[in-house]
Amino acid sequence: MTILVGSDTLVICQGMTGRTATYHTERMLAYGTPLVAGVTPGKGGRRHLDLPVFDTVAEAVATTGANTSIIFVPPARAADAIIEAADANIALAVCVTERVPILDMVRVKRRLESGGMRLVGPNSQGILAPGVLQLGVMTTVNARKGDIGIVSRSASLTSEVVAQVTEAGLGQSTTVGVGGDPVHGLSLAECVTLFLNDPDTKGIILIGEIGGSEEEKVAELLGELNPAKPIIGFIAGRHAPLERRMGHAGALITPTLGAAEPKIAALEVAGVRIAKQAHLIGETMRRALMDQRT
């Protein structure tokens, strides 16, 4: 069993005819992702990668029955694309676009408060359910079907952790990149909750980083639930300087918020086993599962 996606997922790609979207759409199709159409305003009626192209999401949904969208739309128009998907009754949207203006995302969040669509991203590497589908830009080379759920704010580190989990003989149920921007959709805590409720996910790996307070919110959740599933955590950016953006907008320590050590401390109090170094994450998960069985 996977989270967020499954056998009933039908995908459209907003912005599919662009160069970057074309490249990644080809990769997703090759992996077996059920992409049924693209959406590019002004190019409706054409075919691209042997898929129909529509002018609007509503037309694509009405024709194909799609319920999921992967969004490759430039930053200035990404918020409108997300809202268009929500208005067309898309159930899940994954936005990989980076540098979407924060005030635009505030507008998106207000729209999503009315319900109807779950958003992953923006600045997300996507969702990968090994053997089921790839929805986004993350590598699939080392992914193997298994029972470890991975949720991450860090794109590059996610690929390394997937490889470690596979090498440890565990594999992944689903890997989710929630996005590195300060204002985004699905939170770390919401994703952890989905994994906790998934009977086929036996352990969870949480890859956090400096900036914001999402990891602390996960700690609060786990403190309330006291789950039996082992959870491994890693926080990137322990030696990052104060008030200097590291990589993207969300990775920023302020004088009062976002440092790595308080995040680590909160997670440890909540029962999360912290991997001391990045290369130990997979092995720490393996040992946690062994300890649970003894």
Dihedral through CA 35, CA 41, CA 46, CA 48, nearest 10?
-40
Do 126 and 13 meet the contact criterion of CB atoms below 8 Å apart? Answer: no
CA distance 144 to 24: 20
CATH number of 11-120: 3.40.50.720
Beta-bridged to residue 48, according to DSSP, are 51
For 290, the token pair is 């062994």
User: Start-end ranges of CATH 3.40.50.261 in the chain?
Assistant: 141-293
pTM of the model: 0.94
ω into 122 cis (within 30 of 0): yes
SS3 190: helix
H-helix or E-strand containing 133?
strand 133-136
Q: How far is CA 251 from CA 8, 128, 136, 233, in A?
A: 35, 23, 21, 17
Question: Catalytic site residue 248?
Answer: yes
CA distance 9 to 67: 6
Handedness of CA 214, 219, 224, 225 (dihedral sign): positive
pLDDT tens-place values along the chain, 294 residues long: 799 999 999 999 999 999 999 999 999 999 999 999 999 999 999 999 999 999 999 999 999 999 999 999 999 999 999 999 999 999 999 999 999 999 999 999 999 999 899 999 999 999 999 999 999 999 999 999 999 999 999 888 999 999 999 999 999 999 999 998 889 999 999 999 999 999 999 999 999 988 889 999 999 999 999 999 999 999 986 655 554 555 555 555 554 567 889 999 999 999 999 999 999 999 999 999 999 887
Do 225 and 197 meet the contact criterion of CB atoms below 8 Å apart? Answer: no
For 34, the token pair is 């059920």
CA distance 47 to 17: 9
Q: Which of 24, 48, 184, 248 is catalytic?
A: 248
For 150, the token pair is 């991975």
H-helix or E-strand containing 48?
strand 47-48
Q: Does domain 141-293 have CATH number 3.40.50.261?
A: yes
Residue 155 has what pLDDT?
85
Do 22 and 49 meet the contact criterion of CB atoms below 8 Å apart? Answer: yes
CA distance 253 to 241: 7
User: Sheet harboring 273-274: ordered strands across?
Assistant: 133-136, 126-129, 172-177, 145-152, 203-209, 231-236, 273-274
User: Start-end ranges of CATH 3.40.50.720 in the chain?
Assistant: 11-120
CA distance 121 to 140: 19
Q: How far is CA 284 from CA 164, 168, 193, 234, in A?
A: 10, 10, 21, 10
Residue 248 has what pLDDT?
57
Residue 259 has what pLDDT?
84
Per the listing, tokens 């976002």 go with 258
| φ/ψ (deg, to 5) at 141 | -60, -45
